[in-house]
Amino acid sequence: MTNSFEDYLNTDLFFVIGSNPTEAHPMAGAKIMSSVMSGKSKLIVADPRRIELAEKADIWLQLRPGTDIPLLNGLMHIIIKEGLHDQKFIEERTEGFEALKATVEKYTPARVSEMTGVPENLLYDAARLYATTAKAMLCYTLGITEHICGVDNVMSTANIAMLTGHLGKEGCGVNPQRGQNNVQGACDMGALPNVYSGYQAVVNPDIQAKFEKAWGVKLDNKLGLTIPDMMDAAVEGKLKAMFVLGEDPVLTDPDANHIKKALTKMDFVVAQEIFMSETAKYADVILPGASFAEKDGTFSSSERRVQRVRKAIEPIGDSRPDWWIICELAKRMGYDKMNYESPRQIWDEMASLSPIFAGINYDRIEHTGLQWPCPTVEHPGTPVLHTQSFSRGKGLFKAIEHTPPAEMPDEEYPYLLSTGRILYHYNITTRYSSALDAHRPEEAAMIHPADAATLGVCTGEKVRVTSRRGSVVTKVNVTDKVMSGMIWMSFHYKETPTNELTVNAFDPVSKTGEYKVAAVQLEKVV
């Protein structure tokens, strides 16, 4: 996020696109809801589903799934045509405006309305409102990123924010709310194939030398494999072993059957988990980790805030903190530079090697945490990014054309499947909470009344959902919150493993799977 959650209270307009915060990021959602309810701010929602925020919105743009780029280009077309763009910001802070202008020129309201299904008058209303509100904040999540054109979608949100000067200021910005509790932190710590902690490139020889010196070993300077590449390499027999820490790709990654094939093919799989996950079942060895309540450490939230996790109870049974287990393995493999006594020591080593975290330590984050970048111990942290300049100096507009989803409904698979989270569950762990699971024990796929009538099903009855990759059975919830021709499912239930259906197609840059669009058939199950 460029801005902070606290800053949600300062904005006069939320533009929420591809995000369902009242379910997936409830406290962010609550801030938006209360601000809108009190009349403080206005709300534009772009979402194929009539999500809760859509019901409260001043303007709801019900776009067809996978048409975010045409929609944003169309809004920018209107903004430029009507001269509502921020000329000063564009001149001082950005480059590439002419190229952007030439591209969005082609996205006329008539054409965009045709592509997205959004009426022209709403396009005008939304473009004008966003451009003319001084403090306007754009929020998005996985509805933007989980497409084969996810990176282009993200760039488009940056384009429209820069075009209107809604960046680097209070109450503005482009704010992706991160899905999992520490997805920000896992990236920050270098659990990525291309960077060490603090986003330091593995291909940079100076960085490599710094880490070689600190860690006392020779390091590899070529990029590692991303998850989809790992799975492909495993299926091809090139990858022999995998160490899986606290993730359940069989349930949460797209095209589950491909993942299962990969796990079966490898010689040796280790799962470090707190529950017998679907993935752990494929392991040769399972190492029981401790839960967040049983260990010290830190998480980094969507707003880049590093906060303490504190040990409240002893590890359950014979489980152990994850860091301890990994360090113990290192020791047994003959490496002697991972003999930490506490997570604090680990943090300090990381911070000493990573400039953006250099000023953060456990003493400083005792009470409220700190938002990185925080280069020195005197630095107050950074609630708003890009106030003076962007990371690369000037913000670069990127002219972007529409990329349709990898797989669209056709005669054989006539329905469009889209997926996401629901309020009462978070990935997997919540299924083990007795109250949460009792409240929402099973999948309830959303389908439109017209489709339900065609299929002859009512709420509570079952359908079989089949894609080119797999087939699952689910109960349905008949509701006009989804458009006709669409089915919406969550991915929380191992009894209804939705990701057996999703497409094995990824954004070429981010390698994010296209969870939001797949073609399926539906038939009633009696």
Partner 1 sequence: MPTVTLTIDGQQVTVPKGTTVLEAAWKAGSFVPTFCHDPELTKPGACRICVVEIKGARNLPASCVTAAAEGMIVETASPAVIDARKTILELMLDNHPEDCLTCHQAGDCKLQDYAYFYNVKPGAFGGECKNYEIEDDNLFIVRNMNKCILCGKCLRACEEKQGRAVIDFAYRGFRTKVATALDKPLADSVCVSCGTCVSVCPTGALTEKAMLGSARKWEVQKVRTTCPFCGVGCNFDLNVKGGKVIGVTSNAAAPANGRDLCVKGRFGTDYVHSPKRLTKPLIKKNGEFVESTWDEALDLVASKFGEIKTKFGSDSIAALSSARCTNEDNYVMQKFMRAVIGTNNVDHCART
**Which amino acid belongs to residue 148?**
I
Binding status of residue 153 toward partner 1 by CB under 8 A: no
**Contact of 116 with 364, CB cutoff 8 Å:** no
With respect to partner 1, which residue has the nearer C-beta, 183 or 473?
183
Residues 423-482 that bind partner 1 (CB under 8 A): 423-427, 429-436, 438-439
189 binds partner 1 (CB under 8 A): yes
Find tokens 């904005």 and name the residue: 11
Rounded-to-integer distance, Cα 109 and Cα 241, Å: 52
- Mask 137-166, x = binds ligand SF4 (CB under 6 A)? ------------------------------
Per the CB < 8 A criterion, the answer to whether 258 and 234 are in contact is no
Contact 46, 75 (CB under 8 A): no
Nearer CB in complex with ligand SF4: 25/304: 25
Q: Exactly one of 3, 10, 19, 26 binds ligand SF4 (CB under 6 A); which one?
A: 26
Say whether 427 sits in a helix, a strand or coil. Answer: coil
Q: Does 201 bind partner 1 (CB under 8 A)?
A: no
Residue 100: in which H helix or E strand, if any? helix 97-105
Q: What is the nearest approach in angstroms of ligand SF4 to the Cβ of residue 143?
A: 18
Residue 460 in the binding site for ligand SF4 (CB under 6 A) = no
Note whether 389 binds partner 1 by CB under 8 A.
no
Stretch in the footprint of ligand SF4 (CB under 6 A) among 2-10, 24-32, 65-73, 444-452: 24-32
68-81 and 120-132 are packed helices; what angle lies between their axes, rounded to 10 degrees?
70
Cα–Cα distance for residue pair 455/445, rounded to 1 Å: 14
Pair of tokens at residue 74: 């169309």
Query: How many residues touch ligand SF4 (CB under 6 A)?
Result: 3
Q: How far is the CB of 371 from ligand SF4 (least distance, A)?
A: 16
Interacting positions 234-253 with partner 1 (CB under 8 A) = 238-247, 249, 252-253
In the list 310, 352, 394, 458, the residue contacting partner 1 (rule: CB under 8 A) is 310
Q: Does 293 bind ligand SF4 (CB under 6 A)?
A: no
Q: Which residue in this structure is represented by tokens 């056709």? A: 410
CB of 241 to ligand SF4, least distance (A): 34
> DSSP assignment of 108-124, as one string?
-HHHHHHHH---HHHHH
Mark residues 315-354: x for contact with partner 1 by CB under 8 A, - for none.
Answer: -xxxxxxxx-xxxxxx-xx-x-xx-x--x--xx-xx----
Which partner in ligand SF4, partner 1, none is near 388 (CB below 5 to 8 A by kind)? none
Single-letter code of the amino acid located at 80: I
Contacts of 491 (CB under 8 A, 6+ apart): 251, 252, 419, 420, 421, 427, 497, 498, 499, 515
Of 304, 56, 293, which Cα lies nearest the Cα of 185?
304
Q: Please, which residue, 330 or 423, has the CB nearer to ligand SF4?
A: 423
Both tokens of 298, joined, read 């830190």
Position 27 contacts ligand SF4 (CB under 6 A): yes
Q: For residues 480 and 476, give the distance between their C-alpha atoms in angstroms, rounded to a whole number.
A: 13
Residue 24 CB, nearest approach to ligand SF4 (Å): 9
Name which of 124 and 324 has its Cβ closer to partner 1: 324
Query: Hey, which residues does 272 pair with through a beta bridge?
Result: 245, 287
Check residue 108 and give left, alpha or beta (phi > 0: left; psi -120 to 50: alpha): beta
Q: How many residues does the chain have?
A: 526
Cis peptide before 373 (omega within 30 of 0): yes
Tell me the DSSP string of 281-306.
Answer: GG-SEEEEB--GGG--EEEE-TT-EE
Of 97 and 362, CB closest to partner 1: 362
Tokens describing residue 281: 């079942």
**Closest CB 26 distance from ligand SF4, rounded Å:** 4
Minimum distance from residue 445 beta carbon to ligand SF4 (Å): 23
Q: Closest CB to ligand SF4 among 27 and 102?
A: 27
Q: Which does 389 bind (CB under 5 to 8 A by kind): partner 1, ligand SF4, none?
A: none
Direct distance between the N- and C-terminal alpha carbons of the chain, in angstroms, rounded to an integer:
47
CB atoms within 10 A of CB 92: 11
Spatial distance between the Cα atoms of 357 and 189, rounded to a whole number of angstroms:
10
**Candidate segments 23-31, 137-145, 280-288, 372-380, binder of ligand SF4 by CB under 6 A:** 23-31
Using CB under 8 A, which of 287, 445, 487, 522 touches partner 1? 287
Q: How far is the CB of 431 from partner 1 (least distance, A)?
A: 8
215 binds, among partner 1, ligand SF4, none (CB under 5 to 8 A by kind): partner 1
248 phi and psi angles, rounded to 5 deg: -130, 70
Map residue 33 onto helix, strand or coil: helix
82 touches, from ligand SF4, partner 1, none (C-beta below 5 to 8 Å by class): none
We find the least distance from the C-beta atom of residue 156 to partner 1, in angstroms, to be: 18
Q: Which is closer to partner 1, CB of 247 or CB of 451?
A: 247
Among 275, 396, 398, 455, binds partner 1 (CB under 8 A): 275
Q: Which does 175 bind (CB under 5 to 8 A by kind): partner 1, ligand SF4, none?
A: none
Which residues contact ligand SF4 by CB under 6 A? 25-27
